[in-house]
Amino acid sequence: MSQHFLLSAAARTLSLSAVARMSEEEAHSALQQIRWSDNGGEPYCPRCGCAASYAYTTRRLWKCKGCGHQYSVTSGTIFAGRKLDIRDYLLAIAIFCNSAKGTSALQLSRDLDVQYKTAFVLAHKLREAMAAEDIGATVSGEVEVDGCYVGGYVKPANWKEHRRDRRFARNQNGKREVVIVARERNGKTLTFVSKTEDGAVPTIQKIVAPGSVVYADEASHWDQLQARFLTRRINHSQVYSDGVGCTNQAESFFSRLRRAEIGTYHHFAGPYLGAYAAEMDWREDHRRTSNGEQFLMVANAAMGHAVSRQWKGYWQRCR
């Protein structure tokens, strides 16, 4: 039997201790190389693109000779307005990549010795950068579609006579949402959040390329997909896979999503559910990539991502 990828040495190409031992100078030049990799690591102005700049000797800043804009290695990126050392950002990315089921903000705050609020925003900035690779993406070929309900838990009353049948809508709290996945067999995963599976059909029709074969379970709302795609259905009350039809790839994504919810985040329903789903989607798609490459991918994504409208100055707005 061949060795599982995650057990092999090839899966481990990043050492947390090596990142932790970096001086701030080394961390800065590493991030500079990542940010301006298209220019051999030489800085150019984020505002006008001019490569000629004055470098300050007392601070790690440049001033554009073209437009006079003063910029640092993180200006105009998702880490714009940073307050931590650059090494802390590299450490945060390394820790985030090393944990297959995600890293909670509390754990990150302990690892980096920063406030919970700082870690919460930092982790969400990484999620936003990771999610960017799926913007406008579609899936094609053999695509499995399914939904996973999250949130809206109603605690049963203490006394039996006070308990209500939580299967009825009138006894639910309306907070339950569904993460929809469209997953290529042996390929890309796309996720989004919907109020119901039924309501997700129009979006699925948009993100699944025409000509694809769609695999779905027996739920009647997936019948609408038959108008546009060749569909194969599998009745889970009888069989999980009949050799051709199954949604097991979608289910295995949900298995990891659920483990992240139960084991790491404990609660991720609500306004940021889509961000957590996108994070787990990224982890799913890159699970057979070495941690060193994952680190570079996230660092690249963060450096290539514009300032986050949602997360920059989040706590200044939400006090």
> Interface with Zn ion includes 119 (CB under 5 A)?
no
Rounded least distance, CB 65 to Zn ion, Å: 8
Under the criterion CB under 5 A, does residue 69 sit at the interface with Zn ion?
Answer: yes
Q: Note whether 130 and 301 are within 8 A (CB).
A: yes
For 26, which DSSP code? H
For residues 181-191, b (16+ Cβ closer than 10 Å) or e, as one string? bbbbeeebbbb
Q: Judged by CB under 5 A, does residue 306 bind Zn ion?
A: no
- The interface region with Zn ion, picked from 61-69, 77-85, 124-132, 184-192 by CB under 5 A, is 61-69
Tell me the DSSP string of 113-153.
T--HHHHHHHHHHHHHHHHGGGTT--B-SEEEEEEEEE---
Closer residue to Zn ion in complex, CB, 70/248: 70
Considering CB under 5 A, how many residues would be counted as binding Zn ion? 8
Q: How far is the CB of 55 from Zn ion (least distance, A)?
A: 14
Shortest distance (Å) from residue 49 CB to Zn ion: 7
**Sole binder of Zn ion in the list 41, 66, 151, 152 (CB under 5 A):** 66
Question: Which one, 41 or 66, has the nearer CB to Zn ion?
Answer: 66
Which of 67/157 has CB closer to Zn ion?
67
Q: How far is the CB of 305 from Zn ion (least distance, A)?
A: 20
DSSP 166: T
Is the CB of residue 36 less than 8 Å from the CB of residue 44?
yes
Q: For residues 153 and 172, is the Cβ–Cβ distance under 8 A?
A: no
Amino acid at 91: L
Residue at token pair 């769609």: 214
Q: Does 48 bind Zn ion (CB under 5 A)?
A: yes
The contact mask relative to Zn ion for 28-47 (x = CB under 5 A, - = no) is -----------------x-x
Q: How many CA atoms lie within 13 A of 59 on its CB side?
A: 7
Between 204 and 303, name the residue whose CB sits nearer to Zn ion: 303
Shortest approach of Zn ion to residue 74 CB, angstroms? 16
Nearest distance in Å: CB 53, Zn ion: 8
137 is a site residue for Zn ion (CB under 5 A)? no
Judged by DSSP in three states, 201 sits in: helix
d(CA 304, CA 112): 24
C-alpha–C-alpha distance, residues 255 and 73, integer Å: 39
Min dist. Cβ of residue 45 to Zn ion (A) = 3
Residues in touch with Zn ion (CB under 5 A): 45, 47-48, 50, 64, 66-67, 69
